[in-house]
Structure 1
Amino acid sequence: METYPIASLQDRYNLSSKQSVYDRIKALLIEPVARGKISSEQLDKLDKLNQHLKSGGTLADFESSHTEIFQIEAIEPATTTATNQDRENFLELIEAIARHIGATRDPLQHYAALEQAIASGWILSTAEVRALIGVKPSGERFKRGAFAFIRTDKVGNQAGWKVEKI
């Protein structure tokens, strides 16, 4: 299998930061096949996304306009060993399902979760805040939209964040 270094993608797509590359990889649910490397199939997906974004599209409408259909074949008895191609096809199917589920979720769902955190007085970890708002909070007080995140004690090995409505 031919692999491509992730480090070369910033130049390939003329992006201003490495984070932009990783945001695209994350959005497409791509797992590197080796440390810092992606497969030619994964590169093809990123190329299609880049073309879509250049033509004025967004990540959200790319996912819905490039849904892949996979044919599921009957599974042989347990004595048959799955090939690497079978495993790759299965993983691609799982990725397509995950993209579809992610594209159909309620876009306001994170607001309800933030309201619940405020009402319950929960302290959220940095990872939880990032999952809800899409960015990692920083500093002692971080503002995003109608919410403020105030740094508190630790939650595990991460900073804890109390949520307030502005």
Structure 2
Amino acid sequence: MTGQNELIKISTLQDRYKLNSRQAVSNRINGLKIQPVARGQISLEQLELLDRLDKHIRGGGAITDFPIQPEVQVDKLDKLNVEPDTNEAMSTTDYLPAINVMAQLIERMMSYTYAPQQRSPLAIYEDLEKIVQFEWILPTSKIKELTGITPKTSKGEEVFIFGSFAFIRTDKIGRETGWKVVHIEFVEQQQLLQSFAKRREPKN
């Protein structure tokens, strides 16, 4: 049986969530503001939170709209000790205490439901990791909406670098250029392979 005080190694999370890089794990931990309880280790409660986030992301969500706040626990109202007079209808004022309590509970629940969530500064990279994972191809307008930058390439170039990610020009999506998002390591590997292949070509 798993003990409540058992610690989980962060190094195991990449395989647990089938992520492409350790940076993706760090993005999730930092995005949720999780502080390791020991060097390179997290608690079971923190693991459960990361499990919920992984399920949320695989369902189409993102770290920015993940509901971290706990559910509001509403205590049951005590049964009103009001015995209605069978010969006289109950007046509206007799209901006021219960109505006021219900109004306060509804207001409290609505404040949790619609409270604005602060966007993590790592949200862009979390979204890009998700795009890499699912191998989506996005039009230029979506790339600009996500990063705030319009990807452009020099003549003869097909790759636009953004941090540790690379946008590779693909076929048109409607009237816009399509972009495939990959890790920059992938582009570097491809360039090395092409350079090696050129050196192997026989000289005339």
Between structure 1 and structure 2, the one with the greater Rg is 2
Q: Give the TM interval when normalised to the shorter protein.
A: 0.3 to 0.5
TM-score by length of 2: 0.36
